[in-house]
Amino acid sequence: MLLATKLRGLEAPKPAASSQEPAASSQKCYFSAVTKDAARRRIAVVPGDGIGKEVIAQALHVIRATGAPVDFTEFDWSADRYLRDGTTIPADGFAMLTRDYDAVFVGALGDPRVPSNVHAKDILLGMRFKMDLYANVRPVKCLDDSLCPLKNRKASEIDFVVIRENTEGPYVDVGGVFKQGTPDEVAVQEDVNTRKGVERVIRYAFEYARRHGRKKVLMTDKANVMTYAHGLWQRVFKEVAAEYADIGAQHMYVDALCMHMVRDPAQFDVIVTNNMFGDIITDLAAALQGGLGMAASGNIHPGRRSMFEPVHGSAPPFAGKNIANPMGAILTAAMMLDHLGRASEAKKINDAVLEAVRQKKTTQDIGGSLGTRECGEWIQQQVTGNR
């Protein structure tokens, strides 16, 4: 049974629900008159569902305010589109993103009207897997003491980065159910870890540490229980760490890491971990930054088309109410510009967000009284003023 389900899980991807991309209804182009300039960068934008749409709209205004030479093409891949015509991602979607764009900017995917979450799986996990975006980089930086939820800790003590493996683990959908609906039901979900997958993300973490002047890489796992899967992580981590004598290497079990993260976050520098633990600890880490509304991320394959998205989801109860915090998306936009070689524009955005936090020009979740739009506009004006 196990072998059969494994093979089922690993078989070639199914064709998308609809192979037709009705261009006019699905994509909007901005600044198309100026796309001939070779220095300009093309960004595919997928606002997605719920608050994703609201926060991405603000992030785009802020990017424009920097004057960075970028053009946006918006795609309506979302629950709305799926419910309308069955399309999750068009058949050539990933090839098109890779061929025609320099980066992809995503809001969030997930909608209670699609309980199977099939569109989010196809679009979001599809990008991560099919574009092979193996390193999910999630910086954890608390911008101001007022955002720090820990007693007797300063914002300056919360400054680390989680590098999450992004293409393997239980996310690969290998498994199945047997005797479903009976008292003898069996459910199996395999945790897939390949030597190549583990090695490249660990190496990425050490390279990242070198590039960013960080001193230490900590690998976290649960090798005391996941002896086969995380035994592989342990062996590979030791081997790769030996090649980076200038960077410290440390290991911690993930349960202990959660405890240390709230008791003494200052000890962390670069954390590398598997897909599932990376997902979980970065929500915890988001709380150290003031909440999910503050956390940014990039899904990277060095040298290839990469994708940027805030850590938070579509927050259905917040959707359409102009209350979502746009800062996670705006900080993600800065990460994307930095990745595209526009470090000075990225810095302007980061500085403006910092100033907004200091002056409490924020949404309610972090203590301000502004709406999503008003917060975005304040940051946009701050960026414009600094040009």
Site residues for ligand IPM per CB under 6 A: 110, 120, 124, 279, 311, 313
Could you tell me the smallest distance in angstroms from the CB atom of residue 168 to ligand IPM? Answer: 12
Coil, helix or strand at residue 189: strand
222 assigned to active site? yes
Site map 27..66 versus ligand NAD, x via CB under 6 A: ------------------------x---x-----------
Contact call for residues 192 and 274 (beta carbons, < 8 A): no
Residue 278: which of ligand IPM, Mn ion, ligand NAD, none does it interact with, CB under 5 to 8 A by kind?
A: none
Could you tell me the smallest distance in angstroms from the CB atom of residue 70 to ligand NAD? Answer: 22
Could you tell me the smallest distance in angstroms from the CB atom of residue 313 to ligand IPM? Answer: 6
Q: In what order do the strands lie in the sheet with 70-75?
A: 27-29, 70-75, 41-48, 103-108, 306-308, 298-300, 135-141, 159-165, 270-273, 216-221, 248-253
How many residues sit in the footprint of ligand NAD (CB under 6 A)? Answer: 23
The tokens for 371 are 């709406």
- Residue 105 β-bridge partners: 45, 308
Toward ligand NAD, which CB reaches closer, 109 or 142? Answer: 109
Toward Mn ion, which CB reaches closer, 191 or 279? Answer: 279
- For the segment 291-350, give every residue that binds ligand NAD (CB under 6 A): 291-293, 309, 312-318, 324-325, 328
Rounded CA separation 314/321 (Å): 12
- For the segment 241-270, give every residue that binds ligand NAD (CB under 6 A): none
Q: Is 279 in the site for Mn ion (CB under 5 A)?
A: yes
Toward ligand NAD, which CB reaches closer, 55 or 334? Answer: 55
208, 279, 338, 348: the active-site residue:
279
Residue 44's region, left for phi above 0, alpha for psi from -120 to 50, else beta, is beta
Place of tokens 């999503």: 372
SS3 letters across 52-116: HHHHHHHHHHHHHHHCCCEEEEEECCCHHHHHHHCCCCCCCHHHHHHHHCCEEEEEECCCCCCCC
Could you tell me the smallest distance in angstroms from the CB atom of residue 10 to ligand IPM? Answer: 19
Let me know if 80 is exposed, middle or buried by CB neighbors in 10 A (0-12, 13-18, 19+). middle
82, 171, 204, 208: the active-site residue:
171
Rounded CA separation 291/315 (Å): 13
85, 100, 145, 255: the active-site residue:
255
The tokens for 153 are 């800790």
Sites of contact with Mn ion (CB under 5 A): 279
Sites of contact with ligand NAD (CB under 6 A): 51, 55, 108-110, 117, 120, 124, 291-293, 309, 312-318, 324-325, 328, 365
Active site residues: 171, 222, 255, 279, 283
